[in-house]
Every structure is written in C-alpha cells, then in structure tokens.
C-alpha cells in the first residue's frame, strides 16, 4: 500500500507541476496492480488495462501464464493455462489403447498438472490395451490358464482344468498314488475316472475296485483277500494267462489250437485239438477242432484244410455245408440249390450238356423263381413250370397266369374245378 501511495502522489505532482500535456511519464512497477480505465492509463506498451470478472480494471503487463496465483496473461483470470493438450506418458504411447491426452492445470502447490490424461498401466485381462503398446491382453494364457480360460474372467472351478480354452472337468489319471488328484472326493479306483486305467503292475481299475489284469505272473496283483492268483481270480476270466493260454472257469485253458504246444500246462498234457479246451475252436484256415481232431470247415477253397487227404465236399466233414454260391455239399458231392440264378452253381456241366438251374437234376421240383413257391423245376422237361393256378399271378414268369398258362391244364383252379382249355370252369 505504501508503494501505491507514493505512486499516486507522483502522479498528482506530475499533473500539478507540468499539466496533462507536459508528457510526464511514470514507470509502473511490475509487482503491483493499479486501477485504470483504458490502456493509456497504464503508462503505455507493454502494459494494458485488463478487466477482472467483476468489472474492475487494473494495469497489467502480459506474460506467459504460470502457476503463481496471478493473472500473468492479463485476461482477467488467474492461473488459466493454455488449452493445448498435454501428455506425460512415454513416447509412442499417446493415443494407443487407453492412453489419452489431458489439459494443463495448476496445483495448489504451484506446479503444472496434466488433468484428464491417461498414461500406460500394467496390462490387465479386461479386453483393453492397458499398457498402450498396441496389443490387447497379451501375456495371458487363454488355452490353459484356469483364471482366464478361453477369455478374460472365465474362472474354472476347483475340479476343472482349462484345456484348449475350455473349462474341462479334471479327471483322475494316477490311480495308484492314494491321492484324490481331481479333488472330487474319490481316490484311485474308487473314482469312476479310473475305470479301465492301471492301478499298478498287473492291476486295472474295474467297477470302483482293483482288478487282476496280469493273469500269468503268479502274483495276486489286485491284493484281494483271500489272495487269488492268476486264473483263480474271477477277474481273469477269458484273459490271457500266457502265450496261447486263456483263463476259463478258474483254470488255465488252451487258447491256441494250432501251434503244437501244450499252452495250458501244467493244467494238462494235451495239445491243440486233442485238448477238450479246443472244441469248435479254429485249428487254422478252414479248420476247426471237433471230436478231438481237426475237421474241414471251409468247403469251397480247393484246400485240404484239416490235412486228412480229402478236399471240400469229398471230406465228410463238409456234409450239408456250403460249397459256394448256390452250392451245398450233399454226402461227398456238390449239389445245386439255387435253381433260379442262371448259374451252374455245382459245376457239373459238361460240353454239350449244360446243367444250369432246371437243367440240373438237383433242381427237380425245386423253386425256379426266387421267393416264389408257385413255380417249380421239372427236370424231365428241363424247364420251370407254374404249379399254383388260382392266385392270379404269373408264377413262372412266362407272361401267362393261372389257367391261361398251359402248365395249369388239369390243375386245380378252384374247389372241385380244374383248368380246362385255358379257363377255370364255373
């Protein structure tokens, strides 16, 4: 106030002594405000007469606005910094991801702040580029990460694992360690996940318990009580008990009936077909064990499969067995049984004497149309004849039905009536 008093006094003296037109000039101190009505009241450039928001005016020297609680730029407002955007983040991050510019503003401590700016932060799994590097949610394992399985914030349950981006129920796979590995309250074989999985050497989980699976090692692998070993254990039924050996009814049984070895020893001293265990089991290609010896079982391959010197239908083992398409072994010969396929199924034709279908004596009085009982072969005429004459069907396929077919002449066409002259009498 003292400086203002002396400055006002200097102005008064200048006016009294020299008058307004004398050109008296007064130097304005930079740190004191002075009231004015116009720029000329402030001593000239660079000072100007600035207006406060309440209408009062004061002399001001414009400068760059700073955070000092003063109106440095003489616009009537204190500490109003430039509207130019500001950004304090690392180079190359401005405008990337979540990063945005702010507006300069003064703090209460007189420092410049960049209000509203957003600078990089640590990457968070949220579908945003938090560190402003151009990549979203990098570093997170969506394929196997349980807390972000397939996408952010998809958390797998305690009993689940993240497999290929999907929460998948964790399964018990170590079934002999006494640990509830998948956390579902069941351990080892008691866990349904372990069914058919190994529970140790020679042991397989079966139906919630340990089961014997190595049936030829002389050990009770499933530790049952009382201890049952190999084929004695019902778990081994139908399982291998060694090379060529199969467990059957609680004992060792011959399983390979072709190798010339007593595979079920010491159960017995019998080998291959001589062992009752081999009944109706294969003794090789086209061979089956029957009556404790080898028997021919494939009757159309031209091979002596049982090694008795007789082949196919020549072997009595083949009686009533198929000897090919439309062929059946009858005694020791081949017999045609398909009499409607146009084939010599039993191969008995000779040059000049075909033996196909109704031309073969085997087909006499046999069906000569597939699926049709109304027509039969007459070998004496070597042809197919209609024998059902009251069904309105052309049974023999010659285009004529019932009495219209000469085959039906004299045949019954209705009760007490027979076909005559191509008609059925009324």
Any idea where the domains of the chain sit in the sequence? 338-426
Token code pair at residue 347 = 């191969």
Mean predicted confidence (pLDDT) in 376-403: 94
Q: Is 361's pLDDT higher than 90?
A: yes
pLDDT of residue 27: 52
Res. 1 pLDDT band, cuts 50 70 90? very low
Phi and psi at 272, nearest 5°, equal: 50, -130
For the chain, what is the mean pLDDT? 88
Q: Would you tell me how many other CB atoms lie within 10 Å of the CB of residue 407?
A: 23
- Measuring CA to CA, which residue among 104, 101, 56 is closest to residue 79? 104
Confidence of residue 155 (pLDDT cuts 50, 70, 90): very high
Whether 18 shows a pLDDT value over 80: the answer reads no
Q: Which of 224-228, 288-292, 349-353 has the lowest mean pLDDT?
A: 224-228
- Report which DSSP code applies to 18: H
Pairing label, strands 287-290, 293-296: antiparallel
Contacts of 209 (CB under 8 A, 6+ apart): 189, 190, 222
pTM higher than 0.95: no
pLDDT 10s digits, 282-333: 999 999 999 999 999 999 999 999 999 999 999 999 999 999 999 999 999 9
Question: Do residues 59 and 36 touch, judged by C-beta distance below 8 A?
Answer: yes
Q: What sign has the CA pseudo-torsion 393, 399, 404, 405?
A: negative
- pLDDT, residue 82, reads 80
- Distance CA(163)–CA(165), nearest Å, equals 5
- DSSP structural state of residue 231: G
Window from 79-88, 120-129, 144-153, 308-317 with minimum mean pLDDT: 79-88
> Distance between CA atoms of 311 and 318, rounded to whole angstroms?
9
Confidence of residue 29 (pLDDT cuts 50, 70, 90): low
pLDDT one-digit tens code per residue, 70-114: 888 888 788 788 888 999 999 999 999 999 999 998 888 888 889
Interatomic CA distance for residues 60 and 389, integer angstroms: 135
Strand, coil or helix: 347: coil
CB 313, CB 301: distance < 8 Å? no
């Amino acid at each position: 106030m003292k400086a203002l008093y002396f400055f006002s006094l200097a102005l008064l003296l200048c006016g009294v002594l020299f008058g307004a037109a004398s050109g008296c000039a007064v130097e304005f101190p930079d740190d004191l405000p002075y009231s004015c009505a116009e720029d000329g009241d402030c001593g000239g450039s660079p000072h100007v007469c600035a207006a406060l928001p309440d209408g009062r005016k004061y002399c001001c020297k414009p400068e760059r606005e700073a955070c000092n609680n003063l109106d440095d730029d003489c616009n009537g407002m204190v500490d109003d910094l430039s509207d130019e955007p500001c950004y304090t983040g690392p180079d190359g991050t401005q405008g990337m991801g979540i990063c945005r510019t702010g507006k300069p503003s003064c703090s209460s401590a007189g420092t410049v702040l960049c209000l509203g700016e957003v600078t990089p932060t640590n990457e968070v799994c949220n579908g945003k580029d938090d560190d402003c590097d151009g990549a979203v949610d990098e570093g997170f394992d969506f394929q196997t990460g349980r807390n972000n399985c397939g996408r952010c914030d998809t958390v797998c349950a305690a009993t689940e694992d993240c497999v290929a981006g999907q929460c998948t129920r964790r399964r018990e796979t170590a079934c002999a360690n006494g640990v509830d590995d998948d956390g579902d309250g069941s351990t080892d074989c008691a866990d349904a996940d372990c069914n058919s999985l190994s529970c140790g050497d020679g042991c397989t989980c079966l139906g919630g318990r340990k089961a014997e699976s190595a049936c030829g090692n002389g050990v009770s692998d499933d530790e049952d009580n009382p201890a049952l070993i190999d084929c004695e254990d019902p778990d081994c039924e139908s399982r291998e008990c060694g090379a060529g050996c199969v467990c059957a009814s609680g004992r060792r049984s011959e399983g390979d009936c072709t190798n010339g070895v007593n595979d079920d020893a010491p159960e017995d001293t019998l080998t291959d077909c001589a062992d009752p265990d081999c009944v109706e089991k294969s003794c090789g290609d086209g061979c089956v064990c029957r009556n404790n010896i080898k028997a021919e079982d494939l009757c159309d391959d031209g091979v002596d499969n049982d090694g008795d010197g007789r082949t196919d239908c020549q072997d009595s083992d083949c009686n009533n067995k198929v000897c090919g398409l439309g062929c059946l072994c009858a005694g020791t010969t081949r017999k045609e049984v398909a009499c409607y396929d146009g084939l010599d199924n039993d191969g008995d034709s000779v040059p000049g004497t075909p033996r196909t279908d109704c031309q073969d004596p085997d087909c006499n009085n046999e069906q000569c149309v597939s699926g049709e009982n109304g027509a039969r072969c007459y070998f004496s005429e070597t042809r197919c004849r209609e024998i059902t004459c009251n069904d309105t069907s052309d049974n023999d396929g010659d285009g004529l039905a019932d009495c219209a077919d000469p085959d039906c002449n004299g045949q019954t066409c209705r009760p007490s009536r027979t076909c005559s002259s191509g008609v059925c009498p009324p």
